[in-house]
Amino acid sequence: MDNKGAIRSSMLECRKAIPPSQYAHLSRQIQLLFLASDIYREARTLMLYVPVHNEPGTALIIARAWRDHKTVLLPSVRNGRVCPVYYPKDAPLKQGHHKVQEPVAAQEYAGNEIDVVVVPGIAFDPRGNRIGYGKGYYDKFLGELDQRTIKAGFSFNRCLVEGIHANTWDIPVDMIVTETGIQIKEQIL
């Protein structure tokens, strides 16, 4: 198994070992820190995810974004690529590609201005490198975004790693939010 494969397996186990009550508390802390940030306040369009495999939650952010009249997008995998789709308030979800939840009436977002993308990941390092699920969908998608789009990763502090070998096609996140703080590429806020 390569280094990324070993880290992926280890961090999936790390997340799986978090007891449900602690998972809820830690996810809430991550979301509250993000919601208190200028990055959230200034964003008009956010692309989030519905968690799978014990990823940190996003439900509080989605609910607040709807309340704040922000545009909420979710990912939909189509023809081997991530497509942002509108997530209207309280729209029903269905299981899409790789068990990812997406709106039943998944209307693709035609705009190219996404202020913040919360990128799912299994592991992150202090330089913003990430390990996803190994298909490269997000790296392709992130590479097509406007340079002004902020790429954020949510992680439990215990699932951060010291270093991840990045390939030339890997796109790092700009910030990592854990239950203990917001880290912007080697700098803690």
Q: By residue range, what is the domain housing residue 170?
A: 3-188
Cβ burial 24-37 (10 Å sphere, 16+ → b, else e): eebbebbbebbeeb
pLDDT for 1 equals 42
Q: Comparing C-alpha atoms, which of 110, 83, 87, 107 is closest to residue 97? A: 83
Give me the numbers of helices (H) and strands (E) for the chain, helices first please.
5, 12
For the chain, the straight-line distance linking the first and the last C-alpha, in angstroms and rounded, comes to 36
In total, how many domains does the chain have?
A: 1
> What is the distance between the alpha carbons of residues 65 and 61, in angstroms, rounded to a whole number?
6
Prediction pTM value = 0.91
Helix (H) / strand (E) element for 94: namely: strand 93-95
pLDDT for 186 equals 55
Instruction: Report the chain (189 residues): mean pLDDT per 10 consecutive residues.
Output: 78 91 96 97 97 94 98 90 92 82 82 89 91 81 90 94 84 95 71
Q: What is the CATH classification number for the domain harbouring 9?
A: 3.40.50.10420
